[in-house]
Structures are given as structure tokens and as C-alpha cells.
Amino acid sequence: MALTLIMFIQLNDLLPLYFDPSKKTSSEIWGKQLTFQNGEYIKIVAPSGSGKTSLIHFLYGLRTQFSGTVLYDTIPVKEINKEQLALLRKDSISIVLQDMRLFNEETAFDNINIKRQLNPYHAPEKIEEMASRLGIKDKLHFKCKTCSFGEQQRIAIIRSLMQPFDFLLLDEPFSHLDNKNSETAMELMLEEAKSRNAAIIFADLERIDYFPFTRLYHL
């Protein structure tokens, strides 16, 4: 497969296997045909239990327990082998996971730099610059297990921005942050997405005023 970047992500009649088909009736995502393109800012409002994390995992190829299809351009995610999927995650699609998945015994700097080393979009100095902007510069050389949940969330956000991407997927990225820190982090992510003409797909429990979505869906 020659796919090296993603111009659009398409959903066709998508539904988790563990959901009743009746979910399609009330959802603006499940059971629908949708296309998300580069440069768009997609907001997905998703109450607890509606499958928000499942959706983000499906879009990233982490899980495949769904009916219907998720396509990167014209290629179904289920048909992409592990090696090609790893390349796409390195080059074209980034994510901030709700559970963050940091290496707790490694420093904040090393957790962030892992992504940068895989495909150096930014110089190493950018890590310190972003950390300073998000108020965690003094935590860079501490092990992640010693950082608060809010600090860990900012580490995960910076990590996601170290690589090139056409799509940035966000699963409740601010659940441990206050409004001021959330807004600052969002500003940074928007700047980075704009510089790449990348899309942001942002799933959260409610609308957020400082995310200038181009489309809004209720899951």
C-alpha cells in the first residue's frame, strides 16, 4: 500500500458491535455517512456511555470491533497491516488519548521526545518552548509518575504535536485541566494544526467555546 498521508477520513454506517442498532436513530455519527477532510475542525459532543472513546479508537485503528467501515482516503482501516498503520501513525495521524498512556518511569521530556524521534517535525528545543507555554517546563526532567494528572495531560498534548500529522484526534484532552490551562493548550494545538493544514477531531462531553469548530455532531 502506497498511502503515506491522509487527505480525508470517511465513515460509512459505523457502529460498535456492542451497541444496539437503535443507536443509529439518535446519533449524528453512528450509522451515518460522513467525510472529515484536512483543515476541518470537527467537534463531537458525546455524553458518557455514548461511545466517544470507542469512536476515537476506531479512527486511530486501535480497535476494530465495529460494523460498517472507517476509511483513510479510500482504504478501509481494517485492511491496513500493522506495519503500514504504524507508518501512518508516525507520519499522518496523531492522538491525545483519554488515558494518556505515558511511560511512568521515564521523564516528561523523554515521553515527549519519543514521538519527535520517530519523525522529527520539530527541533528538540520546541519541547522546552511548548512546555514553558503550558506551564510544565519545570517538570520536564521529572518522571511522569511524579506529575499530577493535569501535568501528565499537558505532556500528552505536547507529545502529540511533535510529529507531522494530517489529523489530530482528541479524546477528552482537558479532563484534568482548568479553563485557563485548557484554553492555552487549545490555542497551541490550533496553531500547530493550522501550520500543517491538518484537521482536528475533538470528542468531549460538551461544547467548548474556544474550539472554533467548522462542524458539530452529537454522538
Tens of pLDDT, residue by residue over 118-165, are 999 999 999 999 999 999 999 999 999 999 999 999 999 999 999 999
Please, where are the H alpha helices in the chain? 23-26, 52-60, 82-91, 108-118, 125-133, 149-160, 179-196
**Is there a domain that residue 3 lies in?**
no
Q: Does pLDDT of 2 surpass 60? A: no
* pLDDT score for 148: 96
- Find the CATH number of the domain harbouring 89: 3.40.50.300
The pLDDT assigned to 83 comes to 93
pLDDT at 1: 52
pLDDT for 167 beyond 70: yes
Residue 1 lies in a domain: no
Is 170 inside a domain boundary?
Answer: yes
What are the pLDDT digits (tens) for 81-98? Answer: 999 999 999 999 999 999
For residue 218, pLDDT over 90 is answered with yes
Burial of 62 (0-12, 13-18, 19+ CB in 10 A): middle
pTM of the model: 0.96
Residue 48 is predicted with a pLDDT of 86
**Residue 76 counted as domain residue:** yes
pLDDT of 5-47, one tens digit each? 899 999 999 999 999 999 999 999 999 999 999 999 999 999 8
Cell of 15: 457502529
| Nearest CA-CA partner of 89 in 20, 17, 4, 18 | 4
Q: Which domain range does residue 72 map to?
A: 8-218
In DSSP notation, 3-32 reads --S-SEEEEEEEEETTS-TTHHHH-SSTT-
Q: Bridge-partner residues for 175, per DSSP?
A: none
CA pair distance 143, 135, nearest whole angstrom? 16
Per-residue confidence (pLDDT) for residue 54, from 0 to 100: 96
What pLDDT score does 60 carry? 97
Instruction: Look at residue 9 in the predicted model and tell me its pLDDT.
Output: 97
- 130 three-class SS: helix
Distance CA 162, CA 184 (A): 17
Number of structural domains the chain divides into: 1
Cα 65 to the chain's mean position, in Å? 19
| Residue pLDDT, tens place only, 47-92 | 888 999 999 999 999 999 999 999 999 999 999 999 999 999 999 9
Residue 22 confidence (pLDDT): 95
